[in-house]
């Protein structure tokens, strides 16, 4: 894969894609996102989640939904301030103290002590590929079940039209046969 393909697959500018290319390709290799079909689905999803590789940290208002992160036991946010501290980070927006702990353990980096480390390109890409692998998304990509991938990442279908458009472009750029 080259930077032009990455830009097409994620909706990123060519210069931004060039900055992320090594981190993303390395993470895909590490976590078995290793066929054009898997890569097309993965790249479309991270492209949407990161706004075309612009953001590796959730934009914070806080919105009413973001205020709702505070005290959410299902996210492991049990300490005052956890909602903001453990906001979405990485190219798939890992959210919540419990998820930061899980990715810390998996990648052997202490994101609990230093959450901003998830914003760095290698960690942002690796955390996304780890999430992808942990949630069985390669199997869904192999089956072409893009709606199910979206639901596992997003919890719903938010932004589906954009995700789908990126997926279509990524399949074409990577030569995925329908």
Paired residues of 82 in beta bridges: none
Q: Are 121 and 20 in contact (CB under 8 A)?
A: yes
Q: What is the mean pLDDT of the chain?
A: 97
Residue 178's pLDDT is 67
Asked if 76 and 97 touch (Cβ cutoff 8 Å), the reply is yes
Instruction: Determine the longest span between alpha carbons in the chain, in angstroms.
Output: 49
Distances (CA, A) of 175 to 39, 148, 156, 167, 169: 11, 22, 28, 12, 10
Report DSSP letters for 51-113, one per residue: TTTT-SB---S--HHHHTTTT-GGGT--STTHHHHT--BTTTTB-SHHHHHHHHHHHT--TTT
Mean pLDDT of 97-114: 98
- What are the catalytic residues? 49
For 18-41, how does the pLDDT look when each residue is reduced to its tens digit (9 = 90+)? 999 999 999 999 999 999 999 999
Over residues 124-151, mean pLDDT? 98
Q: What separation, in Å, do the N-terminal and C-terminal C-alpha atoms of the chain show?
A: 20
- In order of their start, the domains of the chain are 3-55+120-174 (1.10.530.10), 64-118 (3.30.20)
> For residue 57, which phi and psi values (nearest 5 degrees)?
-140, 135
């Amino acid at each position: 894969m080259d930077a032009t393909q990455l830009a097409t697959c994620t909706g990123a500018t060519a210069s931004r894609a060039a900055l992320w290319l090594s981190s993303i390709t390395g993470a895909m290799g590490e976590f078995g996102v290793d066929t054009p079909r898997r890569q097309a689905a993965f790249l479309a999803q991270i492209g949407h989640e990161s706004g075309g590789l612009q953001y590796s940290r959730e934009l914070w208002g806080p919105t009413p939904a973001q205020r709702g992160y505070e005290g959410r036991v299902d996210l492991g946010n049990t300490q005052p301030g956890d909602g903001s501290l453990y906001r979405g980070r990485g190219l798939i927006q890992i959210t919540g103290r419990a998820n930061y702990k899980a990715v810390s353990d998996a990648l052997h980096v202490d994101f609990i002590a230093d959450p901003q480390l998830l914003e760095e390109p290698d960690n942002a890409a690796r955390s996304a590929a780890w999430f992808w692998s942990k949630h069985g998304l390669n199997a869904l990509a192999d089956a072409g079940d893009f709606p199910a991938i979206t639901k596992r990442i997003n919890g719903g279908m938010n932004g589906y039209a954009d995700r789908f458009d990126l997926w279509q472009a990524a399949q074409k750029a990577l030569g995925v046969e329908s």
